[in-house]
Amino acid sequence: MVIQDLFTAARKIVFKFGSSTLAGEDGTMNTVFLNEFAGQTADFIKQGKRVVIVSSGAQVAGLSIMDKWARKKDIHYRQALCAVGQVQLMEAWRKVFEPHGCHIAQILLTQDDFNDPIRTLNMRNTLFTLIDEGIIPIINENDTVSVEEIKIGDNDTLAAQSAILWSADLLVLFSDIDGLYSKNPKEFPDAQPIEEVRDIDQVRKDISMGAVSDFGTGGIATKLDAAQRASSYGIPTILAHGGRPRCLEALSAGRQKGTVFFS
Ligand code: ADP
């Protein structure tokens, strides 16, 4: 019921997708998912809601055409792979939104952009202009220029920062699990779901956090950090499974479970 209420009340929503949602089991882009999600987002927009997407997946998309780079660990190759993949990623998003008459825009950011007040103001103005014009901004980290010092590092944090920048009403982190558990549900079948979190510091002490998936970057720890960051600005966060059938509709109708982090 709570998730349903949050969706009903929210007008400005940030959706974040991890690579594990955007990649299918074979490691290639999950176009079935993208199609389904675009249709549901377009319905949301028709209801008067406004949407920003934070999308990982540049590496996955890059590997779908540069598979010979799969084993190259050199940083320049990783960044080159993201540069190639970012085009594929945006093309995939563009294609699925086009039939619904929705235009998309690419925004690539680094931590430097959030640290500099003038850049932050410019980002904010561009974001608001795009959204006012009915365009869906799709944000990702600018991996080509991101060396360690200016790296945000994971898109959970980027999503929280974007939600704060836009003064969003709700942040939704889609992953490949149905929310937060007492321990990693992929390793421990007896892990208990936690549907509501009001004290993130306490929950960090109460749960155990397992390893990160193949394509994932931050694991559950960065999701908790992101929820905490958003909640300090009064923005609630939902962590839910992006791979469930028609997940947006299901969540907003109260049919799908997840974890709510209250602000
Ligand atoms: P994404 O790519 O969607 O951002 P990640 O792979 O980075 O996802 O992080 C999500 C993963 O965190 C889950 O697939 C899960 O296996 C793992 N995980 C570890 N500990 C927990 C926990 N306590 N509750 C839920 N998930 C956990």
φ, ψ (nearest 5 deg) of residue 23: -95, 135
The residue whose C-alpha atom lies closest to atom 9 belonging to ligand 1 is: 219
Cβ of 209 below 6 Å from ligand 1: yes
Query: Number of C-alpha atoms within 13 angstroms, CB side, residue 48?
Result: 5
Helices (H) and strands (E) in the chain, counts: 11, 10
Beta carbon of 258 within 6 Å of any ligand 1 atom: no
* Atom number of ligand 1 nearest to Cα 187: 16
| Dist. CA 130 → ligand 1 center (Å) | 32
Which residue's CA is the closest to the ligand 1 atom numbered 6? 216
Per DSSP, the residues of 119-160 read HHHHHHHHHHHHHHTT-EEEEEE-TTT--GGG---SHHHHHH
pLDDT tens for each residue of the chain, 263 residues long: 699 999 999 999 999 998 888 887 777 889 999 999 999 999 999 999 999 999 998 988 999 889 899 898 888 898 999 999 999 999 999 999 999 999 999 999 999 999 999 999 999 999 999 999 999 999 999 988 877 766 888 999 999 999 999 999 999 999 999 999 999 999 999 999 999 999 999 999 999 987 665 555 668 999 999 999 999 999 999 999 999 999 999 999 999 999 999 97
**Residue 188: what residue type?**
F
For residue 189, count CB atoms less than 10 angstroms from its CB and return exposed for 0-12, middle for 13-18, buried for 19 or more.
Answer: exposed
Distances (CA, A) of 256 to 3, 17, 123, 211: 9, 17, 34, 25
User: Angle at which helices 117-132 and 155-166 pack, to 10 degrees?
Assistant: 80
Pocket mutation for ligand 1, best pick of 16, 175, 217, 238 (most atoms within 8 Å of C-beta): 175
What pLDDT, on a 0 to 100 scale, did the predictor assign at position 190? Answer: 96
Residues pairing with 261 in the sheet: 197, 237
d(CA 220, CA 226): 10
User: Over the stretch 93-120, which tens digit does the pLDDT of each residue have?
Assistant: 999 999 999 999 999 999 999 999 999 9
Integer distance in angstroms from the first to the last C-alpha of the chain? 17
